[in-house]
């Protein structure tokens, strides 16, 4: 078994196809393209880059970030990326009231 097959097994065939399609004609992906590929928003991707969870290459005099296929693969397979589970929303208890139809309310009001 080759290393590529090991990566495919970890990443999954659908993600592997998405990676191949994304890097078919380029060697670097923009922040926007990488965020879309990973299912993140750009702000979250930048935060992960700033924390060192995923590596980025600086372009344009250091103003823009780009990501290589190897860096994205390493992030998907090796990183301890934070998987924040959304806390369950707190249930708000509302006093239960009897539902009365409009015509019933009118009848009670007139009585």
CA-closest candidate to residue 66, choices 41, 32, 18, 43:
32
> Rounded to an integer, what distance in angstroms lies between the CA atom of residue 28 and that of residue 30?
7
Are 49 and 55 contacting, i.e. CB atoms less than 8 angstroms apart?
Answer: yes
pTM: 0.61
Structurally, how many domains does the chain consist of?
1
What CATH number has the domain bearing residue 17? 1.10.1660
Question: What is the per-residue pLDDT across 2-27, written as a single tens digit (0 to 9) for each?
Answer: 455 554 447 788 888 888 888 888 88
Question: Is pLDDT above 50 for 45?
Answer: yes
Which DSSP letter does residue 27 get?
S
Task: Establish if 28 belongs to a structural domain.
Answer: yes
Is 85 inside a domain boundary?
A: no
Higher pLDDT, 81 or 80: 80
> Is residue 73, in this structure, part of any structural domain at all?
yes
Whether residue 54 contacts residue 71, with contact meaning beta carbons closer than 8 Å, is answered with yes
Measured at the CA of 58, the angle between CA 53 and CA 63, to 5 degrees, comes to 115
Note down the domain range covering 43.
3-78
pLDDT surpasses 50 at 1: no
As a whole number, mean pLDDT of residues 26-33 equals 90
Query: What per-residue confidence (pLDDT) applies to 80?
Result: 58
Determine, yes or no, domain membership for 98: no
| pLDDT for the residue 43 | 93
């Amino acid at each position: 078994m080759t290393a590529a097959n090991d990566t495919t097994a970890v990443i999954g065939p659908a993600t592997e196809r998405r990676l191949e399609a994304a890097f078919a004609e380029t060697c670097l992906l923009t922040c926007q393209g990488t965020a879309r590929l990973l299912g993140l928003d750009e702000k979250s991707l930048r935060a992960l880059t700033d924390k060192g969870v995923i590596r980025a290459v600086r372009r344009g005099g250091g103003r823009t970030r780009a990501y290589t296929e190897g860096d994205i693969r390493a992030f998907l397979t090796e990183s301890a990326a934070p998987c924040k589970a959304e806390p369950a929303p707190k249930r708000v208890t509302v006093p239960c009231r009897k539902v009365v139809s409009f015509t019933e309310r009118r009848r009670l009001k007139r009585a």
